[in-house]
Amino acid sequence: MATSSFAAAAVCPVFVQGLALSFGLIVAIGAQNAFVLRQGLRREHVGSVVAFCALADAVLITAGVMGMARALGERPGLARVLALAGAAFLAYYGWQALMRAREPQRLQAALGGAGLGRGAAMAQAAAFTLLNPHVYLDTVVLVGSVGARQPAALRGWFVVGASMASLGWFCALGFGARRLAPWFARPRAWQMLDALIGLTMLTLSMLLVRGMWAGA
């Protein structure tokens, strides 16, 4: 019983850290999110689009964590450099989110034009996902380097947490589009969300720095 409680206590923070980090990075007003929202409003191939976007994130996150783990295992000195760079990026990202919270924004999906066939919808989902250079910085480099610093036995839980954030967000955008579209169009809602993301990212940045010095 004590062993089970200890395992749960170790897993939970790692899972939550992956969840919070991935969620903070993925929730933004951008072309991919607008496309998923558009498909949800049109009710066109929603399941396929959501599955592709979530699966692509999960594969990239897993590749990033495992690849970074190998790289850091071979070059221990690289760990502190990446941790410091990651903390700086998270602090900057958090500051940007807080600055965005001062300006009204909204997420709108353009509904003009003809409907898309499944092949065309998947091609656009792939383009919005894989041709965006930021997706590799976010998933492979940043999430990967943070996940690689977790204990080897807990890295899988970090990946699960990060992947669940992506899956949950795309499901909300796609399947909840008709109910959530008015919320996404409210600038005040995005200001509140950006403020929350900013505080979350700054907290994660401080935790990363603290973990770096604790492991020194």
pLDDT at 6: 45
pLDDT in tens, the chain (216 residues): 444 554 556 788 899 999 999 988 888 767 788 888 888 888 889 999 999 999 999 999 999 998 877 776 667 667 677 777 778 888 888 898 888 888 777 666 666 666 778 899 999 999 988 988 778 888 888 888 888 888 888 999 999 999 999 999 999 989 998 887 787 777 787 788 788 888 888 888 887 777 666 655
Q: Are 63 and 140 in contact (CB under 8 A)?
A: yes
pLDDT at 168: 95
pLDDT at 4: 54
pLDDT at 141: 82
3-state class (DSSP) for residue 61: helix
What is the rounded distance in angstroms from the CA atom of residue 181 to the CA atom of residue 184? 5
Phi/psi for 115 (5° steps) reads -70, 165
Contacts of 169 (CB under 8 A, 6+ apart): 23, 26, 27
pLDDT at 110: 63
pLDDT at 197: 80
Token duo for residue 141: 């480099």
Contacts of 182 (CB under 8 A, 6+ apart): none
Question: How many C-beta atoms surround the C-beta of residue 152 within 10 A?
Answer: 9
What is the rounded distance in angstroms from the CA atom of residue 116 to the CA atom of residue 158? 36
3-state class (DSSP) for residue 37: helix
